[in-house]
Structure 1
């Protein structure tokens, strides 16, 4: 039996929306991992759930902050255009990277 085609529109029921998010989140993380392995690429992924919880994925041996900093540090023409509030974004990413490194030292 085939799957029913879903209309691409917002799911109004909050519970159904959260369940769909959780199922599809796992699928997109699996695809990102497969892309990284098959093509030997660095992949960084940031998602916020409907409830506002943060989920991140970074390829093995990388941090999502490092991948996004590499993106921000590229010239505009290689990045596809300018980023709004680039200085703020870069500063925040560096702060996150520093905090992650400190947490890693504390835990070890």
Structure 2
């Protein structure tokens, strides 16, 4: 069955386009390799896909630079000269931009103002005023944020202080609260001479003779 003829136009589907590129690239490289072997020819193919990826075929025992040098020698041209001139022009433009930027920086530092016209001085003054306004606004925002943070921290500390005072008031109302720690030793928080004192009390077991338990106190904190 004969293969249908493909219309030569841009393949709209990106996936189909990439598949077709890969297949035809491999076929082209295969033909180039056969030409190199059969005819002892030097072949160099450089192609760039739509994704920007470079694909290259070069005959064995040679290089792309050698091929380009041979091409220039045969035709008597310099393929690099135009590119070099464009690079030089671009470099010149960049140097001019850099020189103007340095001059503007020095003018904003109060230097190089002798040759500046009145209109340019007025424009420079306006730019400086706007810059100062932006810096001042930024400074006020930073200060405001710091004040808000300090206020939040102060409110937290006040809340902690309030809770501590509440706990202290509760202790004053019930100074002899017992705390059970699961053993034979009890703790009492009491007040003596106007200040809190903590005691550890040990309950001694009853004597065989039938006497009651004895309490021994150990002061822990005065």
- The 2-side partners of 1:17 and 1:7 are apart by 13
Q: Which has the higher contact order (CA 8 A, sep 6+)?
A: 1
**Runs of 4+ with deviation above 6 angstroms:** none
Structure 1 segment 30-45 matched on structure 2, within 5 A: 30-45=30-45
Q: Cα RMSD between the aligned structures? A: 2.1
- Gap runs ≥5 in structure 1: 77-81, 91-108
Structure showing the higher strand proportion among its residues: 2
- SS of equivalent to 2:20: helix
Structure 1 segment 43-54 matched on structure 2, within 5 A: 43-54=43-54
Please state if 1:87 is matched with 2:78: no
Structure 1 segment 4-43 matched on structure 2, within 5 A: 4-43=4-43
Query: Given the two structures, how large is their TM-score scaled by the length of structure 1?
Result: 0.68
Q: 1:2: Cα distance to partner?
A: 2.3
Query: Given the two structures, how large is their TM-score scaled by the length of structure 2?
Result: 0.35
Aligned residues: 84
| Larger gyration radius, structure 1 or structure 2 | 2
- SS of equivalent to 1:56: strand
Check whether the contact 1:17–1:50 (CA below 8 A) recurs between aligned residues.
no
- The 2-side partners of 1:47 and 1:89 are apart by 19
- The 2-side partners of 1:5 and 1:66 are apart by 39
- The 1-side partners of 2:60 and 2:26 are apart by 17
Q: 1:65: Cα distance to partner?
A: 2.2
- The 2-side partners of 1:3 and 1:9 are apart by 18
- The 1-side partners of 2:68 and 2:2 are apart by 39
- Gap runs ≥5 in structure 2: 85-222
